[in-house]
A = this chain, B = another copy of it.
Protein backbone atom coordinates (compact mmCIF):
# COMPACT_ATOMS: atom_id res chain seq x y z
CA UNK A 1 0.00 0.00 0.00
CA UNK A 2 0.96 3.64 -0.36
CA UNK A 3 -0.05 6.98 1.03
CA UNK A 4 0.92 10.25 -0.67
CA UNK A 5 -0.60 13.67 -0.32
CA UNK A 6 -0.24 17.14 -1.70
CA UNK A 7 -1.37 20.37 -0.06
CA UNK A 8 -1.78 23.63 -1.97
CA UNK A 9 -1.88 26.87 -0.01
CA UNK A 10 -1.52 30.51 -0.95
CA UNK A 11 2.16 30.22 0.12
CA UNK A 12 3.08 27.18 -1.94
CA UNK A 13 2.94 23.40 -2.01
CA UNK A 14 3.73 20.57 0.40
CA UNK A 15 4.05 17.03 -0.87
CA UNK A 16 4.72 13.92 1.19
CA UNK A 17 4.94 10.22 0.51
CA UNK A 18 5.60 7.05 2.41
CA UNK A 19 8.02 4.59 0.83
CA UNK A 20 6.79 1.12 1.66
CA UNK A 21 5.94 -1.30 -1.10
CA UNK A 22 4.65 -4.78 -0.71
CA UNK A 23 3.89 -7.55 -3.11
CA UNK A 24 2.29 -9.77 -0.53
CA UNK A 25 3.16 -9.76 3.16
CA UNK A 26 6.47 -11.50 2.69
CA UNK A 27 7.87 -9.11 0.13
CA UNK A 28 8.09 -5.72 1.77
CA UNK A 29 10.52 -3.17 0.40
CA UNK A 30 11.40 0.49 0.50
CA UNK A 31 11.06 2.54 -2.64
CA UNK A 32 10.96 6.23 -3.42
CA UNK A 33 7.54 7.44 -4.50
CA UNK A 34 8.27 11.16 -4.78
CA UNK A 35 10.14 12.48 -7.82
CA UNK A 36 11.17 15.95 -8.96
CA UNK A 37 11.68 17.55 -12.35
CA UNK A 38 13.36 20.94 -12.18
CA UNK A 39 14.90 23.62 -14.33
CA UNK A 40 15.95 26.12 -11.66
CA UNK A 41 14.53 29.59 -12.17
CA UNK A 42 12.05 28.33 -14.75
CA UNK A 43 10.11 25.33 -13.47
CA UNK A 44 9.88 22.94 -10.52
CA UNK A 45 7.58 19.93 -10.73
CA UNK A 46 6.91 17.01 -8.40
CA UNK A 47 5.29 13.64 -9.02
CA UNK A 48 4.11 11.14 -6.40
CA UNK A 49 2.72 7.76 -7.33
CA UNK A 50 0.54 4.97 -5.97
CA UNK A 51 -0.66 1.67 -7.34
CA UNK A 52 1.33 -1.15 -8.89
CA UNK A 53 5.01 -0.30 -8.41
CA UNK A 54 5.89 -1.87 -11.73
CA UNK A 55 3.47 0.31 -13.71
CA UNK A 56 4.22 3.45 -11.67
CA UNK A 57 7.94 2.99 -12.35
CA UNK A 58 7.24 2.79 -16.06
CA UNK A 59 5.28 6.06 -15.94
CA UNK A 60 8.16 7.79 -14.14
CA UNK A 61 10.65 6.32 -16.62
CA UNK A 62 8.71 7.71 -19.59
CA UNK A 63 8.40 11.13 -17.94
CA UNK A 64 12.12 11.21 -17.06
CA UNK A 65 13.21 10.12 -20.50
CA UNK A 66 11.32 12.89 -22.29
CA UNK A 67 12.34 15.43 -19.64
CA UNK A 68 16.01 14.57 -20.03
CA UNK A 69 15.77 15.09 -23.77
CA UNK A 70 14.30 18.57 -23.25
CA UNK A 71 10.76 17.55 -24.10
CA UNK A 72 7.66 16.67 -22.09
CA UNK A 73 7.74 18.22 -18.63
CA UNK A 74 10.92 20.09 -19.59
CA UNK A 75 9.18 22.19 -22.21
CA UNK A 76 5.42 22.26 -21.55
CA UNK A 77 4.15 25.81 -21.35
CA UNK A 78 1.94 25.48 -18.30
CA UNK A 79 1.02 23.10 -15.49
CA UNK A 80 -2.25 22.03 -17.11
CA UNK A 81 -0.35 20.85 -20.18
CA UNK A 82 2.08 19.13 -17.79
CA UNK A 83 -0.78 17.32 -16.10
CA UNK A 84 -1.98 16.18 -19.51
CA UNK A 85 1.53 14.91 -20.32
CA UNK A 86 1.55 12.87 -17.11
CA UNK A 87 -1.85 11.50 -18.12
CA UNK A 88 -0.47 10.58 -21.55
CA UNK A 89 2.40 8.70 -19.89
CA UNK A 90 -0.16 6.80 -17.80
CA UNK A 91 -2.11 5.94 -20.93
CA UNK A 92 1.05 4.80 -22.72
CA UNK A 93 1.84 2.36 -19.91
CA UNK A 94 -1.79 1.23 -19.79
CA UNK A 95 -1.51 0.43 -23.49
CA UNK A 96 1.55 -1.72 -22.78
CA UNK A 97 0.34 -3.54 -19.67
CA UNK A 98 -3.37 -3.24 -18.97
CA UNK A 99 -4.65 -6.15 -21.05
CA UNK A 100 -2.01 -8.45 -19.64
CA UNK A 101 -2.89 -7.49 -16.07
CA UNK A 102 -6.62 -7.87 -16.60
CA UNK A 103 -6.16 -11.30 -18.12
CA UNK A 104 -4.94 -12.36 -14.65
CA UNK A 105 -7.67 -10.40 -12.82
CA UNK A 106 -5.38 -7.54 -11.77
CA UNK A 107 -6.26 -3.89 -12.18
CA UNK A 108 -4.27 -1.20 -13.87
CA UNK A 109 -4.37 1.16 -10.90
CA UNK A 110 -1.62 3.78 -11.18
CA UNK A 111 -2.72 7.08 -9.66
CA UNK A 112 -0.39 10.06 -9.39
CA UNK A 113 -0.09 13.47 -7.86
CA UNK A 114 1.49 16.12 -10.06
CA UNK A 115 2.33 19.53 -8.65
CA UNK A 116 4.67 22.46 -9.01
CA UNK A 117 5.08 25.75 -10.74
CA UNK A 118 6.14 27.05 -14.13
CA UNK A 119 7.32 30.67 -14.21
CA UNK A 120 4.46 33.06 -14.88
CA UNK A 121 1.79 30.86 -13.33
CA UNK A 122 0.76 30.25 -9.72
CA UNK A 123 1.64 26.84 -8.23
CA UNK A 124 -0.81 24.07 -9.03
CA UNK A 125 -1.62 20.60 -7.77
CA UNK A 126 -3.29 17.79 -9.73
CA UNK A 127 -4.31 14.19 -9.30
CA UNK A 128 -3.94 12.03 -12.39
CA UNK A 129 -6.38 9.12 -12.48
CA UNK A 130 -5.50 5.65 -13.86
CA UNK A 131 -7.50 6.64 -16.94
CA UNK A 132 -5.15 9.58 -17.50
CA UNK A 133 -7.54 12.44 -16.76
CA UNK A 134 -6.42 15.20 -14.38
CA UNK A 135 -8.24 16.63 -11.34
CA UNK A 136 -7.04 19.99 -10.03
CA UNK A 137 -6.90 21.06 -6.39
CA UNK A 138 -8.81 24.29 -5.75
CA UNK A 139 -9.06 26.91 -3.03
CA UNK A 140 -12.10 25.03 -1.69
CA UNK A 141 -10.45 21.60 -1.90
CA UNK A 142 -6.78 22.42 -1.39
CA UNK A 143 -5.41 18.95 -0.72
CA UNK A 144 -5.32 15.73 -2.72
CA UNK A 145 -4.46 12.22 -1.57
CA UNK A 146 -3.67 8.94 -3.29
CA UNK A 147 -3.40 5.35 -2.02
CA UNK A 148 -4.59 4.58 1.52
CA UNK A 149 -6.37 7.92 1.89
CA UNK A 150 -8.97 7.54 4.64
CA UNK A 151 -7.03 7.29 7.90
CA UNK A 152 -5.10 10.47 7.18
CA UNK A 153 -8.01 12.54 5.95
CA UNK A 154 -9.87 13.75 9.08
CA UNK A 155 -6.96 15.88 10.32
CA UNK A 156 -6.66 17.50 6.87
CA UNK A 157 -10.41 18.11 6.69
CA UNK A 158 -10.29 19.86 10.04
CA UNK A 159 -7.20 21.96 9.58
CA UNK A 160 -6.05 22.65 6.04
CA UNK A 161 -7.28 25.91 4.46
CA UNK A 162 -5.90 27.45 1.28
CA UNK A 163 -5.85 31.01 2.60
CA UNK A 164 -5.02 30.44 6.26
CA UNK A 165 -2.64 27.50 6.51
CA UNK A 166 1.04 28.46 6.44
CA UNK A 167 3.49 26.28 4.55
CA UNK A 168 5.06 25.33 7.87
CA UNK A 169 1.69 24.18 9.26
CA UNK A 170 0.89 22.40 6.00
CA UNK A 171 4.09 20.37 6.47
CA UNK A 172 3.04 19.54 10.03
CA UNK A 173 -0.41 18.46 8.83
CA UNK A 174 1.21 16.30 6.16
CA UNK A 175 3.45 14.52 8.68
CA UNK A 176 0.57 14.00 11.13
CA UNK A 177 -1.64 12.68 8.35
CA UNK A 178 1.06 10.22 7.31
CA UNK A 179 1.72 9.23 10.90
CA UNK A 180 -1.99 8.54 11.51
CA UNK A 181 -2.06 6.35 8.43
CA UNK A 182 1.08 4.44 9.42
CA UNK A 183 -0.38 3.78 12.87
CA UNK A 184 -3.55 2.26 11.42
CA UNK A 185 -2.15 0.45 8.37
CA UNK A 186 1.20 -1.33 8.60
CA UNK A 187 1.52 -1.49 4.82
CA UNK A 188 2.13 2.27 4.83
CA UNK A 189 5.57 2.89 6.30
CA UNK A 190 8.66 5.04 6.64
CA UNK A 191 10.93 6.49 5.45
CA UNK A 192 8.77 9.51 4.70
CA UNK A 193 9.74 11.90 1.92
CA UNK A 194 8.65 15.48 2.53
CA UNK A 195 8.99 18.41 0.19
CA UNK A 196 8.10 22.06 0.84
CA UNK A 197 7.83 24.40 -2.10
CA UNK A 198 7.41 28.13 -1.44
CA UNK A 199 5.72 29.98 -4.29
CA UNK A 200 8.19 31.38 -6.85
CA UNK A 201 11.20 29.40 -5.56
CA UNK A 202 11.19 27.64 -8.96
CA UNK A 203 13.56 24.96 -7.66
CA UNK A 204 13.46 22.08 -5.15
CA UNK A 205 15.51 23.26 -2.19
CA UNK A 206 13.52 22.06 0.81
CA UNK A 207 13.26 18.34 0.87
CA UNK A 208 13.89 15.78 3.56
CA UNK A 209 13.70 12.08 4.08
CA UNK A 210 12.56 11.06 7.54
CA UNK A 211 13.96 7.65 8.47
CA UNK A 212 11.98 5.52 10.99
CA UNK A 213 14.04 6.75 13.94
CA UNK A 214 14.34 10.36 12.82
CA UNK A 215 14.42 12.44 16.04
CA UNK A 216 12.22 15.25 14.67
CA UNK A 217 9.63 12.78 13.37
CA UNK A 218 9.60 10.89 16.67
CA UNK A 219 9.33 14.13 18.61
CA UNK A 220 6.33 15.20 16.50
CA UNK A 221 4.67 11.79 16.86
CA UNK A 222 5.06 11.66 20.62
CA UNK A 223 3.96 15.24 21.13
CA UNK A 224 0.95 14.77 18.89
CA UNK A 225 -0.10 11.62 20.75
CA UNK A 226 0.14 13.47 24.04
CA UNK A 227 -1.57 16.61 22.74
CA UNK A 228 -4.53 14.59 21.45
CA UNK A 229 -4.95 12.59 24.63
CA UNK A 230 -4.72 15.71 26.75
CA UNK A 231 -7.17 17.52 24.49
CA UNK A 232 -9.78 14.77 24.86
CA UNK A 233 -9.81 15.15 28.62
CA UNK A 234 -10.57 18.89 28.33
CA UNK A 235 -13.76 18.32 26.32
CA UNK A 236 -17.13 18.90 28.02
CA UNK A 237 -18.42 16.08 30.25
CA UNK A 238 -20.84 13.70 28.57
CA UNK A 239 -23.16 13.15 31.48
CA UNK A 240 -25.71 10.48 30.74
CA UNK A 241 -27.42 10.45 34.09
CA UNK A 242 -29.58 7.41 34.82
CA UNK A 243 -33.13 8.11 33.76
CA UNK A 244 -34.72 5.84 36.33
Contact = CB atoms under 8 A, between A and B. Distances in A.
B172 A157 contact: no
Interface in A170-185: 171-173, 175-176, 180-181, 183-184
A121 interface: no
A219 B236 contact: yes
Contacts of A203: 244
Interface in A46-92: none
Given A169-B233, A227-B231, A157 B176 contact: no
Contact of A154 (B151, B172, B243): B151
Interface stretch (A27-35, A98-106, A136-144, A205-213): A205-213
Contacts of A159: 228-229, 232
B235 A205 contact: no
A236 B223 contact: yes
Given A158-B225, A228-B231, A238 B171 contact: yes
Interface in A158-201: 158-159, 168-169, 171-173, 175-176, 180-181, 183-184, 194-196
Interface size class on chain A is 35 or more
Nearest to A181: B154
A150 interface: yes
A173 B229 CA distance: 10
Given A154-B154, A220-B235, A208 B240 contact: yes
Nearest to A244: B205
A180 B154 contact: yes
Closest 3 A-B residue pairs measured CB to CB? A150-B150, A206-B240, A205-B242
